[in-house]
Structure formats: structure tokens, C-alpha cells
Amino acid sequence: MSDSRVRKIIHIDCDCFYAAIEMRDDPSLANRPIAVGGLAERRGVIATCNYEARAYGVRSAMASGHALKLCPDLLILRPRMEAYREASREIHGIFRSYTDLIEPLSLDEAFLDVTGCEHFSGSATRIAQDIRQRVWQQLRITVSAGVAPNKFLAKIASDWKKPDGLFVITPAQVDDFVRELPVSRLHGVGRVTAEKLNKRGIHTCADLRQWKRLELVRDFGSFGERLWSLAHGIDERPVQVDSRRQSVSVENTYERDLPDLAACLERLPELLDQLSKRMARLDGSYRPGKPFVKLKFHDFTQTTLEQAGAGLELEDYADLLAVAFDRGKRPVRLIGVGVRLIDLRSGFEQLRLF
């Protein structure tokens, strides 16, 4: 059995991410067709849209002018990238409480390798369920998840029950699932390649399996090798952790809003204990830098405060928390504590360069 068959990969994909953030922050937008993108009069394009807009045929990458012809009532909002980046950071913070093997594909999409994860006795399905629940509780947006033994199948699975869905392909189910899969769903197969395959009578992976590996290489070059592997459910690509960490943090969303500063301060020791355990997992190429505190108030407004030169003790975080709370003076639904990291490895590279 190949290594790809024993991995536990989760693919998380937020549902109409930008539009979901807009509807969350302005409830009056719910149930009406909206899109995020450029203005039609400036030849803009749609970045994403909600499902009400998709019912009219509006799609991502469509010209805004054409989208308005399909759906005259479509409201096109200008992107608020910082709000989307902040939501993405929160989601990735949730991911990191399960694994450090995270491959971000965009702000709203990522692969997670949870093969060695001990949460829920190592059940990738229950981990995916918990991630989906926590994202909803913390951010009030939905995500879809796919669980499979490799990246190729996990990505297909996350799309299988969208929106707000979870689909699992176990190792025992891989062969039957892939056999029925249209070749157009294979990773890397675009419209041109799909048409080329269809002309050869290849419509499903079952059809593709009738071809020998050498025949596919002859007709499709090096991609023929990849086609043969995917048709048999094989994908050896590891989850690529492609960036160094910039911070470590923990945060908690409380079932009942914390009414005042004193109630918030009571929660600090437990959060800092979790932060200390997470810091202990870092390798020696990082050094702790600035501490920071994040508060999300009951109305979903939030603030983050950090301070250069401050210590990392309970009193230091308590001081930051007090100042952050004073910015809102409202009940608190989420507290986060963390520390910015100094990457000693990048510093070493700079010294070598000069």
C-alpha cells in the first residue's frame, strides 16, 4: 500500500468567502443576490458571489457588466481585503490547533495533513467536523470539508456537498469512487484536455483505466503519467508547508459573552497556559517577540493590541487586555492571546547575504 493511501488529508474550502463575510457584517444583505468585485463601468470582474446570485448564472471571473445583465438586481460590493485577510488568519489559527502541516491555496482554501493528529483519537472525519463547527461559532461563516487519503480526492470531496457540507472518502472507498469520476474532475484536466480525452472515448476514470500507462504518455506526454495515477486514485503529493510562521496564538470563543473586564481577566491564565504549550512545540529557529491580545466584542467588532518590548508574563497580557477592552467597553465573545515570532533563520540568511 502506497503512502498516499495511509495519509489523512482534509481540504477546507470556505463557501463564497468574500460574500459570506459581507453578509455576516451587514445582515441586511442576506437573501439578496450580491457579489464582490469591480465596478461594471470600469470593466471590472466578479471575484465571488453568493448562492442567490449563482442561481441567476453569475460566476467568479465573469465580467461585472455581464453579471448585471443576468441579474439586474445584483449588488456588487467593492472588496474589503483586510477584513477577508483577518478572517483567513482566524481560520488558520483554528487549523493550527490540530496540525502545523497546512498548505494554504488562497485566503479561503487549504489542505491539512492530520495523519499524526491525536485529537478525537486520530479521526480525520471528527477533526473536520470540529473545524467546521468552530469556524461557524467563531466567525459565523460556513466552510465545506473533504476528507480523503490524498490531496486530489480531498479537494474533490470538499466540493461534493457544497455549501456547508462534509464528504469523506475512506481508503476502502477510493477505488469505486474514482472509477465513476468524470475525467473532467481530475486535477490538471482543463477543457482542452477533457475534449481530447472525450474524442478518444474516455469520459470516466473507468474508461481511462482501459489505457496502458505507456499509451497515455505517448499521447499526452509527461501528463499521461499523472493521468494514469489519478485514474487509479493515486496522488503522492505531500501537503507543502510553504511559509515560515509569523506568530503563535490561541483564542477561545465563549458560549456566553463575558460582561466586563474582570470576567475577561479571569480567562487569561488558562489561555496563557495553552499558549505556553504551543510555544514549546516550536523549534529553535524562532524567538518570541511582541505579545498581542485580540478581543472580539458581542457585535463582532474586534480589536488587536500588541506592544514591542513588553514581557510575556500574566501581568503583561493583563495590561494589554485592559487597554484593548477599553477600546470597546462592550461584552466580549472571543479572547485571543499570542506572540509575534522573530525568525532567526531569515536573520541568518540576511547576515550571510551581506
33 with 87, same domain: the answer is no
7, 146: one domain: yes
Is the per-residue pLDDT at 352 higher than 80?
no
9 and 122 co-located in one domain? yes
Single out the residue of 263, 186, 285 nearest to residue 232, CA to CA: 186
Asked if residue 186 and residue 165 are part of one domain, the reply reads: no
Residue 148 CA to chain centroid, in angstroms?
A: 16
Catalytically active residues are: 109
Task: Name the pLDDT band for 2 (thresholds 50, 70, 90).
Answer: very low
pTM to 2 decimals? Answer: 0.71
Task: Assess whether 255 and 121 both reside in one domain.
Answer: no
* CATH number of the domain that residue 130 is part of: 3.30.70.270
Asked whether 7 and 117 are in contact (CB, 8 A), the reply is no
> Domain holding 331: CATH number?
3.30.1490.100
Whether residue 56 has pLDDT greater than 60: yes
- HSE-CB at 176 with a 13 A cutoff on CA atoms is 5
Q: Are residues 10 and 42 in the same domain?
A: no
pLDDT digits 0-9 by tens, 287-344: 899 999 999 898 878 899 998 888 899 999 999 999 999 999 999 999 999 999 887 7
The answer to the question of residue 240 being in a domain is: no
Average of per-residue pLDDT values in the chain: 90
Dihedral (C-alpha) 164, 62, 152, 242: value to the nearest 10 degrees?
A: -100
CATH number at residue 195: 1.10.150.20
Location of C-alpha cell 511582541: 290
Name the domain count of the chain: 4
Binding residues: 13, 108
Q: 72 with 90, same domain? A: no
Let me know whether 185 and 148 are in one domain: no
Condensed to tens digits (0 to 9), the pLDDT of residues 183-222 reads: 999 988 888 888 889 999 999 999 999 999 999 998 888 8
Residue 184: domain span = 180-231
* 188 and 168 belong to one structural domain: no
Q: How far apart are CA 181 and CA 192, in angstroms?
A: 18
Per-residue pLDDT, 300? 79
- What is the predicted pLDDT for the residue at 353? 34
